[in-house]
């Protein structure tokens, strides 16, 4: 589960034009260079949506990447996530969420996480926001060889959003899903610069790490991306 804070700066202007209960978000398309279990350069597409209703904040995210070299597929990954927050106070909230990942070259056939927990808006100003989250969960994993790894987990996460100026923003997301079989860690860093209107350019770096990966796979994968973002 990941929070979708990386699209907020781009979507802000268009969000102001929508009804209070409307959806806002962003679509993203660009070039990605990967290292680790896949060593490729390919196109990647993302879609993120969010909706605020009274004390609720709902977020969904979809990602897809695919690369072929002739008739051979060299990269193929699909990801979907949904998360809902309920504000108890201005700074405290509860959350529930789930995600699903299918990465053909990760050693896993699929991985699914569900969880709930407590979040705290440690810093909440117009230009700087820092949220910290903790909560229990459960993970279902199936390896490529058919073995299953199903276990209770603990999720720790932190999300930093910094509005540098009217035209630039910085995002840092960190998370760890801790289990007896494996700890899956994720770091996402992005710098987004507005081009004009609802369009922006984003430079990002994603690092994922598994403490105990499947046989014949690497612990760490990275993605370095340059993408065009459309906020709405």
The superfamily (CATH) of domain 5-19+27-231 is monomeric porin ompg (2.40.160.40)
Domain assignments of the chain as residue spans, ordered by start? 5-19+27-231
Q: Which residues have CB under 8 Å from 127's CB, separation 6+? A: 162, 163, 164
The DSSP output letter for 225 is E
pLDDT band at 21 (very low <50, low <70, confident <90, very high): low
Q: Per residue in 100-136, pLDDT tens?
A: 999 887 888 999 999 999 999 999 999 999 999 999 9
In this structure, are residues 49 and 69 in contact, taking their beta carbons and an 8 Å threshold? Answer: no
The pTM score is 0.88
Quick one: which of 159, 157, 139, 156 has its CA closest to 148? 139
Q: Is 226 helix (H, G, I), strand (E, B) or coil?
A: strand
User: Which of 77-91, 95-109, 165-179 shows the lowest per-residue confidence on average (mean pLDDT)?
Assistant: 95-109
Q: Which residues have CB under 8 Å from 26's CB, separation 6+? A: 7, 10, 11, 46, 47, 48, 229, 230, 231, 232
Return the number of other C-beta atoms located less than 10 Å from residue 85's C-beta.
20
What pLDDT, on the 0 to 100 scale, is given for residue 80? 97
What pLDDT, on the 0 to 100 scale, is given for residue 153? 99
């Amino acid at each position: 589960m990941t929070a979708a804070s990386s699209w907020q700066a781009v979507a802000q202007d268009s969000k102001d034009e929508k009804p209070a209960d409307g959806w806002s978000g962003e679509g993203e398309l660009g070039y990605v260079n990967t290292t680790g279990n896949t060593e490729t350069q390919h196109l990647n597409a993302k879609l993120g949506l969010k909706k605020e209703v009274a004390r609720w904040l709902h977020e969904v995210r979809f990602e897809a990447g695919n690369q072929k070299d002739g008739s051979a597929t060299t990269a193929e990954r699909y990801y979907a996530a949904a998360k809902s927050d309920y504000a108890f106070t201005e700074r405290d909230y509860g959350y529930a969420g789930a995600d699903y990942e299918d990465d053909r070259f990760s050693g896993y056939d699929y991985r699914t996480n569900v969880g709930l927990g407590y979040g705290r808006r440690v810093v909440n100003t117009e230009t700087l926001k820092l949220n910290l989250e903790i909560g229990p969960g459960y993970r279902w994993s199936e390896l490529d060889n058919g073995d299953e790894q199903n276990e209770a987990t603990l999720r720790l996460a932190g999300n930093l959003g910094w509005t540098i100026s009217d035209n630039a923003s910085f995002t840092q997301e960190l998370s760890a899903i801790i289990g007896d079989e494996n700890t899956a860690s994720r770091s996402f860093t992005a710098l987004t610069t507005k081009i004009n209107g609802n369009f922006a350019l984003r430079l990002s770096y994603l690092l994922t790490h598994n403490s105990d990966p499947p046989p014949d796979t690497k612990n760490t994968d990275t993605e370095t991306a340059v993408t065009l973002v459309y906020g709405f």
